[in-house]
């Protein structure tokens, strides 16, 4: 079996985890809800699993002024219990992820590093330009979500590097969030959308999940809004999204949903 010769480390601090990760063939696991499936399906040969799910410093949520900081190993259930009132848009997205049993173990960090175009926290993180704190034995760096994810399942994370914190600056805003899946629960998105209206500056943010190699932030459409040309936005969205046909939906239906959700959001903020 693929796991028979696998070593398992259970570090208690970030420093210990980084030392464990410095050896060849060591890979991180947090909740394991993506990783274990991938290991089994790909029968990938790895030498060591480093479980970061027990590191207390990665399980903190802080609110400082307008900045919400979420530890990478905060599970969705912990977020709903500890911080749901801080960012109702993220709460709406998290409540629609998987099922209570998965939400009890699956983490924010795992959703981000897994970098699926259908990752349900991601449109919200893109809409707020969330920052990721990355740590390695060589130091720390902070990277915006849009620069962190480079394609489906691809990020700029180096070997031996950990995502430790997600920082979200929360302005005054109203929002619209929808997720369409094949079922109401335990279903990955066929499309998800989050539209944010920044009330102080009268700007909008538009982020679309599962309709491209990564989440699409529609910067050009946001510019049209600034220029007072919001009637042109739905047509532009139709061209900007890059959906595919797969087992969850057709490209045509996904494109239709993106346009209609955008229209609904624009109507809501009139």
Ligand X SMILES: Cc1cc2nc3c(=O)[nH]c(=O)nc-3n(C[C@H](O)[C@H](O)[C@H](O)COP(=O)(O)OP(=O)(O)OC[C@H]3O[C@@H](n4cnc5c(N)ncnc54)[C@H](O)[C@@H]3O)c2cc1C
Contacts to ligand X by CB under 6 A: 27-35, 37, 52, 72, 97-98, 102, 106-107, 109-111, 113-114, 119-120, 157, 162-163, 186, 188
Residues in a beta bridge with 194 = 177, 207
Q: How far is the CB of 27 from ligand X (least distance, A)?
A: 5
Taking the least distance from each CB to ligand X, the nearer of 107 and 221 is 107
Name the pairing type of β-strands 48-51 and 26-29.
Answer: parallel
Q: What is the DSSP string of 223-264?
A: HHHHTT-GGGHHHHHHHH-----BTTB-HHHHHHHHHHHHHH
Q: How far is the CB of 234 from ligand X (least distance, A)?
A: 26
Q: How far is the CB of 80 from ligand X (least distance, A)?
A: 13
- Rounded Cα–Cα distance for residues 230 and 266 (Å): 8
Exposure class string for 25-35: b at 16+ Cβ within 10 A, else e: ebbbbbbbbbb
Taking the least distance from each CB to ligand X, the nearer of 107 and 262 is 107
Taking the least distance from each CB to ligand X, the nearer of 111 and 249 is 111
Taking the least distance from each CB to ligand X, the nearer of 2 and 219 is 2
Q: How far is the CB of 60 from ligand X (least distance, A)?
A: 13
Token pair for 173: 């805003």
Taking the least distance from each CB to ligand X, the nearer of 77 and 230 is 77
* Residue 119 parent element (H or E): none
Taking the least distance from each CB to ligand X, the nearer of 139 and 228 is 139
Taking the least distance from each CB to ligand X, the nearer of 119 and 243 is 119
Q: How far is the CB of 139 from ligand X (least distance, A)?
A: 16
Residue nearest to ligand X (CB): 110
Q: How far is the CB of 262 from ligand X (least distance, A)?
A: 21
Q: Nearest to residue 11, comparing CAs of 55, 58, 57?
A: 55
> Do 146 and 125 touch, CB atoms closer than 8 A?
no
Exposure class string for 161-184: b at 16+ Cβ within 10 A, else e: bbbbbbbbeeeebebbbbbbbeee
Handedness of CA 188, 50, 154, 175 (dihedral sign): positive
Residues in a beta bridge with 155 = 149
Q: How far is the CB of 65 from ligand X (least distance, A)?
A: 25
């Amino acid at each position: 079996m693929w796991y028979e010769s696998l070593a398992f480390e259970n570090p208690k601090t970030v420093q210990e985890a980084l030392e464990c990760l410095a050896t060849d063939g060591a890979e991180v696991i947090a909740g394991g809800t993506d990783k274990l499936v991938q290991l089994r399906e790909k029968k990938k040969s790895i030498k060591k699993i480093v479980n970061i799910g027990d590191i207390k410093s990665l399980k903190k949520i802080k609110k400082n002024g307008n900045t919400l900081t979420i530890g990478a190993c905060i599970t969705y259930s912990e977020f709903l219990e500890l911080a749901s009132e801080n960012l109702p848009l993220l709460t709406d997205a998290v409540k629609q992820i998987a099922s209570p049993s998965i939400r009890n173990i699956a983490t924010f960090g795992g959703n981000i590093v897994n970098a699926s175009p259908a990752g349900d926290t991601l449109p919200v993180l893109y809409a707020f330009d969330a920052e990721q704190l990355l740590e390695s034995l060589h130091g720390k760096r902070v990277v915006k979500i849009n620069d962190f994810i480079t394609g489906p399942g691809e990020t700029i994370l180096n070997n031996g590097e950990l995502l430790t914190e997600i920082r979200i600056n929360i302005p005054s805003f109203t929002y619209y969030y929808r997720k369409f899946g094949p079922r109401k629960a335990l279903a990955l998105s066929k499309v998800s959308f989050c539209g944010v209206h920044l009330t102080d500056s009268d700007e909008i943010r538009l982020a679309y999940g599962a309709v491209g190699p990564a989440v699409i932030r529609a910067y050009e459409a946001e510019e049209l809004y600034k220029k007072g040309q919001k009637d042109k936005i739905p047509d532009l969205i139709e061209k900007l999204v890059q959906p595919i046909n797969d087992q969850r939906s057709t490209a045509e239906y996904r494109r239709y949903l993106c346009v209609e959700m955008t229209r609904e959001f624009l109507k809501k903020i009139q």
